[in-house]
Amino acid sequence: DFEKLITFRFLFLGDAFVGGFLAQLALGKSIKDCVKVGIWAATEIIQQSGCTCPTDKKYTLSEIMNIFN
């Protein structure tokens, strides 16, 4: 049903956020930058079917950061 579908879909947002956040944290970035990339990753994943990475979108870290400026 619709509620289960929405709940299932939102589960991936946390995974995507944490993945983006931790990737930047491992590179020594600031917490602010880690959060920005986590948010970006979550917004990309919510647009996909399931938890898949888009193959047609390639961004550099500076392009991602500019989204928030």
Q: Which residues are catalytic?
A: 15
What φ, ψ does residue 38 adopt, rounded to 5°?
A: -60, -45
Whether 20 and 41 have beta carbons less than 8 Å apart is answered as yes
Least Cα distance to 44 among 19, 25, 23 occurs for 19
